[in-house]
Structure 1
Amino acid sequence: MKKSFLLLIIPLFFRLSLFAGEGMWIPMLLQQLNEKEMQEMGLNITADDIYSINHSSLKDAIVLFGRGCTAEIISDQGLLLTNHHCGFGSIQRHSSIEHDYLTDGFWAM
């Protein structure tokens, strides 16, 4: 009993500083809070390239897709990436017997 109690109490006395450099950051505060750290880790663009209220940035490439899913537009021709379950219904609705996009896929050239 004493050992169990000590094992529970000891971590309270030792503050281990653990930090995960990940998570959901506030886009409008990237420049103030995270830009320097991200560039030290290899980021090659600026915080304004990621999020800018007044100019085009990566925020403009993130879209709402389906019913609450997100997607990313990754080309100037509208190529869109999303999760399978997000696009399944839309792909199914655009399919027909002649063009079964769920089975055969679609090549947009």
Structure 2
Amino acid sequence: MKRTLLTLLCTLLCASSFADEGMWLPGLIRERIGDMRSKGFRLTAEDVYSVNRASMKDAVVSVGGFCTGEIVSDRGLLLTNHHCGYPAIQRLSSVDHDYLTHGFWALSDTEELPAEGLFVRILVRMEEVTDRLAAGETAAEIAAAAEREGTGYRAAVEPMYYGNQHFLFVYEQFDDVRLVGAPPSSIGKFGGDTDNWIWPRHTGDFS
């Protein structure tokens, strides 16, 4: 009996060591691409994530500096989470037009609602600047120089790997953001904030 249990336990431990799940950093996709392609994935690692060339990563944007979104059309339509669009939807709502409760859909360009104060940033490039900082440049100087490279550019130097490396992130900022569509809160916020971190989910969490 003990021998059987020990064999079973060893089998389970060995099986668990091959668990193929969880989240993977985009920069490490080259380590996974072989397995992905063996299961039918057709893109290359460079197609998905290239540091300074156009790739799938460029469809991912920063919304307001606090959320992410995905561009899904050549006209700039983007999707983000319902709770990310929530403040803008709330500001646009009124007693007569309660978009939070009832949702909103623009059926034409003229019906889109300007989301004042909300911006979207698209990553232009990133560059390691650890050596430049060590040589005496300041993060503010590096960011300011990068912002002068293009119209609407915003830049920031961020520490990575517990401060052992520093990277410059250069973004192009777009301030003309409009609300095109959002579901009613009964769909977009179904389950409340707690459900935002629990799976499986049943929420129409988009705007």
User: Which structure 2 residue ranges, 5 or more long, are not aligned?
Assistant: 109-207
User: Which structure exhibits the higher relative contact order, with contacts defined as CA atoms closer than 8 Å and separated by 6 or more residues?
Assistant: 2
**For the structure 1 residues 22 and 75, does the alpha-carbon distance in structure 2 shift closer, same or farther, using more than 3 Å as the test?**
farther
Corresponding residue pairs, total: 102
Residues 1:78 and 1:96: Cα distance change in structure 2 (over 3 Å): farther
- TM-score, length basis structure 1: 0.70
More strand by share: 2
Q: Give me the CA root mean square deviation.
A: 2.9
AA partner of residue 84 (structure 2) = C
**Which of 50, 55, 58 is matched with 1:52 structurally?**
50
Residue 27, structure 1, aligned to residue 26, structure 2: yes
Residue pair 1:63, 1:71 contacting (<8 A) in 2 also: yes
Normalized per residue, which structure has more helix? 1
What fraction of aligned residue pairs are identical, expressed as a percent?
A: 47
1:17-56 per-residue CA deviation (whole Å, 9 max, x = no partner) reads 223333221222212x111101112212111111001211
Structure-2 separation of matches of 1:20 and 1:74: 32
**Structure 1 segment 1-109 matched on structure 2, within 5 A:** 10=6, 14=10, 15-18=13-16, 19-31=18-30, 33-66=31-64, 68-95=66-93, 100-102=98-100, 103-107=102-106, 109=108
The alpha-carbon distance between structure 1 residues 20 and 83, as it changes in their structure 2 partners (threshold 3 A), is farther
Q: Distance in 2 between matches of 1:81 and 1:59?
A: 15
Distance 1:24 1:104, change over 3 A: closer
Question: What is the Cα deviation at residue 67 of structure 1?
Answer: 5.7
Aligned counterpart, 1:3 = none
